[in-house]
Amino acid sequence: MEKTSDSQQKTSNGVEDYLTDEIQELLSTLPREKSFDGSYLYQYQGFWYRSIYIAGMISAHRHFQARDSDTILITCPKSGTTWLKALTYATVHRSRYAIEHSPLLTTNPHELVPFIDHPAYYLKINQSPTTSIFGTHIPYSSLPHSVVDSNCRIVYMCRNPLDQFISHWHFMLKIAQDRKMEPLSLEEAFESVSNGIQGFGPFWEHVLGYWKASLDNPHKILFLKYEDVIENTLFYVKKLAEFLGCPFSDVEEKLGVIEEISKLCSFENMKDLEVNKTGRLLPDRGPKNSDFFRKGKVGDWTNYLTSAMSESLKILMDEKFSGSGLTFKLS
């Protein structure tokens, strides 16, 4: 891992400082639209981002150097990032930590698997050269070159767009309440999503970028769907371990290690851990750890979207994914 310069560390360490003159100047040239939480999203390289993630992505391009042995976990937000981080961490480090001593019991998965594109984490990445699992929401077309060109492995998880939207909207509502901002109504947020405007959207372009890349290079990118992993967690944990080059031995299988990992990382278990009920990702700002655990169900969209909204989103997605071979389970 490359070390950042002093000035960069100063900027990266203080999340408040990420808006450098360079970033402010860039932002002033970009189209902007309201985010679900009432703040702004900026359109950069074809996708919509909060300013902090534009700063983060630029810094990741300059300073993050993926190694062949690294694993990068990638998602569109609210597609199961926290879960994928937990499953991967527990699987990769299973011989280092027995389940009852897993750091996942006392530390939120986002702390253990840092985002490469969030200023709050750069210093931590630099301080932990042994960290080999990272997360990001960066779209395929904007990934740092070393992620694409090295032999590091990518695991991408997507989720059906209707549940992803509802999950995202709820999450941003909590952020807005916390920061006393005025969030978009469900109707306004729906309008935005229909136009491709949400953090790291357009959703379909994010997903299609990784879908196509995974078809071209299945040894580099494992493409997972949240609904499949919910339905058959054991099968996918096994697949994940094989893909990452650390398959479960027959003895491990007989001892039920896959079941133990799956149980450790289950929604029910993780949501009730003290650290996930009380902590925050950053000391005095940023989401609460509990915000990452809402319902963990497939099909919750039926409780929020009108039939006109769901029909419209289904038609839009059929159109966008048509010919790609990619389909989603909605319930």
Chain centre to alpha carbon of residue 78:
7
CB of 147 to ligand A3P, least distance (A): 19
Task: List binders of ligand A3P among 301-330 (CB under 6 A).
Answer: none
Query: Which residues are bridge partners to 280 per DSSP?
Result: 288
CB of 273 to ligand A3P, least distance (A): 11
Judge contact between 74 and 154, C-beta under 8 A.
yes
Nearer Cβ to ligand A3P (11/109): 109
Residue 320 tokens, joined: 């966008």
Please tell me whether the peptide bond between 202 and the residue prior to it is cis, using omega within 30 degrees of 0: yes
Nearer Cβ to ligand A3P (63/183): 183
Handedness of CA 283, 286, 290, 292 (dihedral sign): negative
Q: How far apart are CA 68 and CA 107, in angstroms?
A: 26
For 181, other C-beta atoms within 10 Å of its C-beta total 13
CB of 37 to ligand A3P, least distance (A): 14
Active-site residue (options: 110, 118, 137, 170): 137
CB of 297 to ligand A3P, least distance (A): 6
Q: Name residue 134's amino acid.
A: F
Among 170, 206, 225, 238, binds ligand A3P (CB under 6 A): 170
CB of 104 to ligand A3P, least distance (A): 10
Nearer Cβ to ligand A3P (39/289): 289
Nearer Cβ to ligand A3P (214/289): 289
Among 8, 51, 167, 289, binds ligand A3P (CB under 6 A): 167
Nearer Cβ to ligand A3P (104/213): 104
Is 137 part of the annotated catalytic residue set? yes
Q: How far apart are CA 70 and CA 244, in angstroms?
A: 10
Query: Which residues are bridge partners to 222 per DSSP?
Result: 155
**Ordered alpha helix ranges (H), the chain:** 6-13, 21-27, 51-63, 81-92, 109-112, 119-127, 145-149, 161-179, 186-194, 203-216, 226-231, 233-243, 250-255, 257-264, 267-271, 274-278, 307-321
**3-class secondary structure, 229:** helix
Among 163, 175, 193, 281, binds ligand A3P (CB under 6 A): 163
Task: List binders of ligand A3P among 53-112 (CB under 6 A).
Answer: 75, 77-83
CB of 85 to ligand A3P, least distance (A): 8
Task: List binders of ligand A3P among 195-254 (CB under 6 A).
Answer: none
Query: Which residues are bridge partners to 157 per DSSP?
Result: 75, 224
Nearer Cβ to ligand A3P (59/136): 136
For 102, other C-beta atoms within 10 Å of its C-beta total 21
| Size of interface with ligand A3P, in residues (CB under 6 A) | 21
Q: State the binding string over 264-303 for ligand A3P (x if CB under 6 A, else -).
A: -xxx--x---------------------xxxxx---x---
Q: Which residues bind ligand A3P (CB under 6 A)?
A: 75, 77-83, 163, 167, 170, 265-267, 270, 292-296, 300
Active site residues: 137
